[in-house]
Amino acid sequence: MTFILQNIIDALSLGSLYALIALGIGLIFGIMRLMNFAHGELMMLGAYALFFTVGQPQAVMALIAIMFVVAIAIIMERVAFRPLRGANPATLLIASFALAYFIQHLVLLIFGARPKSVNFFFELSEFFVVGGLRIPKLQVATIVLTVLLLVGLVLFFRRSSIGMQMRAAAEDFEMARLVGVRANTVIAIAFSLSGALAAVVSLLYVIQTGTLSPGMGISLVLVAFVATVIGGMGSLVGAAVGGMIVGVLTVALQAVLPIELRPYRDAAVFALLIGFLLVRPQGLLKGRAAKERV
Amino acid sequence: MRHRIERGLLFVWPVLSLAIILVVIAALISLGPTLLQRVATEALIRLIVVIGLYVFIGNSGIISLGHVSFMAIGAYSSALMTIPPQMKKFVLDLPPFMTVLLLPAIPAAFIAAMVATLFAILIGIPLMRLSGIAASMGTFAFLAIVYVVISNWKAVTGGQSALIGLPVYTNIWVALIYAMFALILAFAYQHSRYGVRLRASRENEVAALATGINVRRERLIAFVVSAFIVSFGGVLHAHFIGVLSSSSFYLDVTFITLAMLVIGGMNSLAGAVIGTIVVSSLGELLRLMEVGVDLGTLHLAAPRGLREVGLSFLMLLILLFRPQGLTSGKEFFLPSRMTRRFLAGNTTSSTSCARSRSHRR
């Protein structure tokens, strides 16, 4: 019983983390049809921002990291993606791949490949002990934070004017522009939100692992990409649900697989997902972006 | 008769010109120092992979991030058939019939390519059901699967430790011959009905569907043909280095081959060749800068990693300012004056004329 509960909490917290990443990617994809590889590098840069502000109060560190990542996200949009607006999704995909590779190797060039360690919110790695159950505080924090962010995002999209404009833009970008939605504003805000989500993920990631390296972003992004495809491309709810599914599946396989097969866990997760796409190629929730309009 | 030869020349010129360029470069370099020959051999191996990528990406318009896994499958399959049995017994834990299996280089290469092709069929069937960008993500997931399996399957691939003892037979001429083979196959595919149908779907999927093209099937055919070509790149790579490790078949190769295709122009075979030549030369130049020069007591060297940063920056510039690549997605045609002279007085040439015009777009 304890074993099952422990795994359920593990699954929820890992799922939350993936959901946050998938949301950050899905937000941009919905509006621009851009699968943003560089999202992983945003998370990596967030971690580096923490590394270079060690010594400040932790809240200040977190704030600086978030502001830094948001700034980078906005610059990225302005310099690399704005000139490509309206290009086909394949070109955007390659551009973001090149950008991610560029940022990653620039960091490698400047700071070296060796992983670095940071002590950040170390107190969160303690446990709550309930009965025989040991629950890491960080997992609780991750789940709570994700729920809060999701509620916040929903309110933002439903209630605020700019949120509604973003939904309109995701529905039909051209039409939204015709009725007065400002393209540049909406896209800049989408990138800032996506950057903020990336920064939150990098905070959680650094608290959990305590380490950072130039290559840390890419594996997270890979998982989140698959999550957005599973959820249905272009659907935000789908992205969150997809992230959660991938997280739960990963933890479940970790628990179920015999020890000699555990190294193949990630391969098994991806294989199951490709299998799922055989049955339902459009994903769980069919996003508006799934098919090109005529 | 003369007309037929001329029209034939006109038709094959796009591929013939590329072949001539490659043969001339290879012949010149084969006279040069050994190190340069190795660089050129590696570039030719990359070229095979890029041509393979082009067959799928260029004709379908869908980016594949997973073709390097076919390289890996080809490389490891060929390794298992060519490493001497006593060595296999020592480092791997294979079923007996695989342990004693020892094949000559060429049959092993073709069987390895067949294995990769089989994987391409199996994985292509579900993936080609996805719409464009989702299919790209699916191929990426496949890359990750193959990488994880190869890095952990100690009994068959050696896992984290490198697999050694492969016979080394790839030199510049072997690589050139296989590259020619890849070039001709890609050109033949491009001009086959399958290639034409697939390019129609690239230009306008809805219209292609409306004219009765089975887009999924055409994509699958291209996927399989391209995996076949790419796997030879893996085989040659394996027998060039003589050592296999899983990390040499992951994101770095994926990036560099994709960069070559994009920089050259991903909509034409000429783009694949030119991109590979340009990126390989530039990469070598940047590598030499990383090695640096000695000026008396002073050692001048660029920081390590400059190659990757430089190439990704170039790729971004190309995407921003010349999105169709250096070749603008065009093939090499004979100068129009010659074309006209060839076609003049030939009243039955309207089809070939229309054909060449449609490729010029």
Is the CB of B126 less than 8 angstroms away from the CB of A275?
yes
pLDDT (0 to 100) of residue A291: 53
Over residues A172-200, the pLDDT tens digits come to 888 999 999 999 999 999 999 999 999 99
Q: What is the mean pLDDT of residues B96-106?
A: 89
Instruction: Tell me phi and psi for residue A137, to 5 degrees.
Output: -60, -35
Is the CB of A228 less than 8 angstroms away from the CB of B132?
no
Confidence of residue B361 (pLDDT cuts 50, 70, 90): very low
Confidence of residue B300 (pLDDT cuts 50, 70, 90): confident
Q: Which residues neighbour B139 within 8 Å (Cβ) at sequence distance 6 or greater?
A: B64, B65, B66, B67, B127
Shortest distance, CA A226 to any CA of chain B (angstroms): 7
In sequence order, what E strands does chain A have?
Answer: 116-117, 127-130, 133-136, 211-212
Q: Is residue B97 part of a domain?
A: yes
CA B223 from chain center: how many Å? Answer: 12
* Token pair belonging to B333: 């045609």
* Token pair belonging to A137: 């505080």
* Token pair belonging to B124: 């292509």
Q: Is residue B285 part of a domain?
A: no
Q: Is residue B165 part of a domain?
A: yes
Q: Is residue B2 part of a domain?
A: no
**Interface with A, mutate which of B154, B160, B312 (most A CBs under 10 A):** B312
pLDDT at A160 over 50: yes
What is the DSSP secondary-structure string of B120-146?
A: HHHHHHHHTTS-HHHHHHHHHHHHHHH
pLDDT (0 to 100) of residue B277: 96
Across the A:B interface, residue pairs with CB atoms under 8 Å apart total 130
**Interface with A, mutate which of B316, B318, B324 (most A CBs under 10 A):** B316
- Give Cα separations from B297 to B293, B294, B300, B303 (angstroms): 10, 7, 10, 18
Q: Which of A293, A66, A99, A83 is nearest to A193 (CA)?
A: A66
State what percent of residues in chain A have pLDDT above 70.
97
Q: Are A223 and A205 in contact (CB under 8 A)?
A: no
| A284 touching chain B per CB within 8 A | no
CA angle B295, B299, B301 (to 5 degrees): 115
**First-residue to last-residue Cα distance in chain B:** 29
* Token pair belonging to A291: 């098919």
pLDDT (0 to 100) of residue B359: 46
Shortest distance, CA B130 to any CA of chain A (angstroms): 6
pLDDT at A88 over 90: no
> What domain range is B228 assigned to?
13-248
pLDDT at A140 over 80: yes
pLDDT (0 to 100) of residue B356: 45
pLDDT at B351 over 50: no
Q: Around Cβ B95, how many Cβ atoms within 10 Å?
A: 10
Which residues of A are less than 8 Å from B208 in CB distance? none
| A258 touching chain B per CB within 8 A | no
Q: Are B159 and B152 in contact (CB under 8 A)?
A: yes
pLDDT (0 to 100) of residue A280: 82
pLDDT (0 to 100) of residue B342: 64
Shortest distance, CA A69 to any CA of chain B (angstroms): 21
pLDDT at B172 over 70: yes
B345 compared with A247, residue with greater pLDDT: A247
Q: What is the mean pLDDT of chain A?
A: 89
State what percent of residues in chain B have pLDDT above 90.
64
Q: Which of B211, B217, B199, B220 is nearest to B266 (CA)?
A: B199
- Rounded to whole angstroms, the Cα distance separating A21 from A3 reads 27
Confidence of residue A106 (pLDDT cuts 50, 70, 90): very high
* Token pair belonging to A184: 């540049």
What part of A 73-132 touches B (C-beta under 8 Å)? Answer: 80, 83-84, 87-91, 93-95, 97-99, 101-102, 105-106, 108-109
Q: What is the mean pLDDT of residues B181-200?
A: 96
Which residues of B are less than 8 Å from A291 in CB distance? 131
Name the residue facing B309 among A91, A109, A292 (closest C-beta): A109
State what percent of residues in chain A have pLDDT above 90.
52
pLDDT (0 to 100) of residue B292: 81
Which residues of B are less than 8 Å from A226 in CB distance? 137, 140-141
| A277 touching chain B per CB within 8 A | yes
- Rounded to whole angstroms, the Cα distance separating A147 from A150 reads 5
Over residues A232-265, the pLDDT tens digits come to 887 888 899 999 999 999 999 999 889 888 889 9
Q: Which residues neighbour B96 within 8 Å (Cβ) at sequence distance 6 or greater?
A: none
Helix (H, G, I), strand (E, B) or coil at A84: coil
pLDDT at A39 over 90: yes
Which residues of B are less than 8 Å from A109 in CB distance? 303-306, 309
Q: What is the mean pLDDT of residues B36-42?
A: 94
Q: What is the mean pLDDT of residues B349-359?
A: 44
Q: Is residue B291 part of a domain?
A: no
Confidence of residue B335 (pLDDT cuts 50, 70, 90): confident
Residue type, position A150, single letter: L
CA B338 from chain center: how many Å? Answer: 31
Q: Which helix (H) or strand (E) holds A212?
A: strand A211-212
Name the residue facing A267 among B129, B149, B323 (closest C-beta): B149
Q: Is residue B282 part of a domain?
A: no
Q: Is residue B318 part of a domain?
A: no
Counted domains in chain B: 1
Residue-wise burial string across A137-170, b where 16 or more C-beta atoms lie within 10 A, e elsewhere: ebbbbbbebbeebbeebeeebeeeeebebbbbbb
Over residues B220-275, the pLDDT tens digits come to 999 999 999 999 999 999 999 999 998 899 999 999 999 999 999 999 999 999 99
Q: Which CATH number fits domain A2-279: 1.10.3470, 3.40.1350, 1.10.1740, 1.10.287?
A: 1.10.3470
Is the CB of B323 less than 8 angstroms away from the CB of A87?
yes
pLDDT (0 to 100) of residue B23: 93
With CA atoms as reference, the chain A residue closest to B159 would be A263
Least confident of A71-75, A202-206, B258-262, B348-352: B348-352
- Rounded to whole angstroms, the Cα distance separating B226 from B214 reads 19
Confidence of residue B358 (pLDDT cuts 50, 70, 90): very low
pLDDT (0 to 100) of residue A185: 93
Q: Are A282 and A290 in contact (CB under 8 A)?
A: yes
pLDDT at B343 over 70: no
* Token pair belonging to B215: 């887009």
With CA atoms as reference, the chain B residue closest to A29 would be B133
pLDDT at A1 over 80: no
- Rounded to whole angstroms, the Cα distance separating B304 from A270 reads 34
